[in-house]
Amino acid sequence: MNTERFYALTEYRFEQEELLRQALTHRSYSRGANNERLEFLGDSILGLVISRQIYARFSEASEGKLSRMRAALVKKQTLAEIALSIGLGEHLLLGGGELKSGGHRRESILADALEAIIAAVYLDGGDEAAERVVLRLYQDRLDALNETMQLKDAKTRLQEYLQSRKMELPDYSVDKTTGQAHEQTFTVSCKLAELGLHSVGRGPSRKQAEQEAARDMLARLKP
């Protein structure tokens, strides 16, 4: 990612461009100057900025509600979605194996790189610069956040719905897996034998496919 493109997306210009390069460097490309340590620091900075924001925005929210809001915003999936939205994957420095296996689209790699960039901004420009970048990247998500939104994942909501009615928990099973090892698609079934209901979910991992199946089941139950 060149510095001009990064500036256009975040309105932050690096003084030390080597920090941006390091943030974009995966360990498969370099065992020395890679983004692992930056990712560690960026995770903490992101958590603090988001915590401050939701604490200020939702003065009546309980600790539990605030924790769920923060978890929804800083989880790997959200980070990867933001990374994809700014085209981060196109600029990552990856080793040959990761390039061939589609590493520039992998959720964990994208999420870690975004956290590394946040840390790089912090080291280059300080607290306020890092906070401005985080808020710019998260603006739409923060504006859409509200205390009544559903923050628990679909599997948890389905489980709680069934437990509250003393019903059997769902059974998840993988129906099939298609595609190459680095670009697989999982098809998962969610069955409620007690109710005779069956839903299907698909995704790039078993976990995501199960969540999709659970969402479909909740739509059928309309809790």
202 and 137 fall within a common domain: no
Out of 126, 144, 162, a domain closes at 144
32 and 90 fall within a common domain: yes
Query: Model confidence at 119, in pLDDT bands (50, 70, 90)?
Result: very high
Q: State yes or no: is 171 an active-site residue.
A: no
166 and 90 fall within a common domain: no
Q: Is residue 212 part of a domain?
A: yes
Q: Is residue 149 part of a domain?
A: no
| CB-based contact 1:24 (threshold 8 Å) | yes
**Can you name the residues that pair with 199 across neighbouring β-strands?**
190
User: Residue 168 has what DSSP assignment?
Assistant: P
**Euclidean distance between CA atoms 30 and 88, whole angstroms:** 18
44 and 137 fall within a common domain: yes
Q: State yes or no: is 112 an active-site residue.
A: no
pLDDT > 90: percent of the chain: 58
pLDDT tens, 2-49? 677 777 778 899 999 999 999 999 999 988 889 999 999 999 999 999
210 and 102 fall within a common domain: no
Catalytic site residue from 98, 112, 115, 131: 115
Q: Is residue 200 part of a domain?
A: yes
| CB-based contact 18:7 (threshold 8 Å) | no
pLDDT value for 113: 96
205 and 134 fall within a common domain: no
CATH of the domain at 179: 3.30.160.20
74 and 163 fall within a common domain: no
What residue numbers bound the domain in which 75 lies?
3-144
166 and 59 fall within a common domain: no
Catalytic site residue from 39, 43, 212, 216: 43
Q: Which residues of 164-174 are buried (b: 16+ CB within 10 A; e: fewer)?
A: eeeeeebebee
Burial degree of 76 (CB within 10 A; 0-12, 13-18, 19+): middle
Q: Is residue 70 part of a domain?
A: yes
Can you tell me the mean pLDDT for 69-84?
Answer: 91
| CB-based contact 34:26 (threshold 8 Å) | yes
134 and 163 fall within a common domain: no
Residue 161 has pLDDT above 70, yes or no: yes
Residue 153 has pLDDT above 80, yes or no: no
H or E element in which residue 203 lies: strand 197-203
SS (H, E, C) 109-162: HHHHHHHHHHHHHHHHHCHHHHHHHHHHHHHHHHHHCCCCCCCCCHHHHHHHHH
Residue 123 makes CB contacts below 8 A (sequence gap 6+) with 16, 19, 38, 41
pLDDT value for 203: 85
Predicted structure pTM score: 0.71
Out of 122, 144, 166, a domain closes at 144
39 and 72 fall within a common domain: yes
Q: Is residue 175 part of a domain?
A: yes
**Tokens 């995966």, residue located:** 26
What's the domain count of the chain? 2
69 and 129 fall within a common domain: yes
Q: Is residue 112 part of a domain?
A: yes
pLDDT value for 104: 83
128 and 197 fall within a common domain: no
Out of 124, 144, 164, a domain closes at 144
Residue 19 makes CB contacts below 8 A (sequence gap 6+) with 38, 120, 123, 124
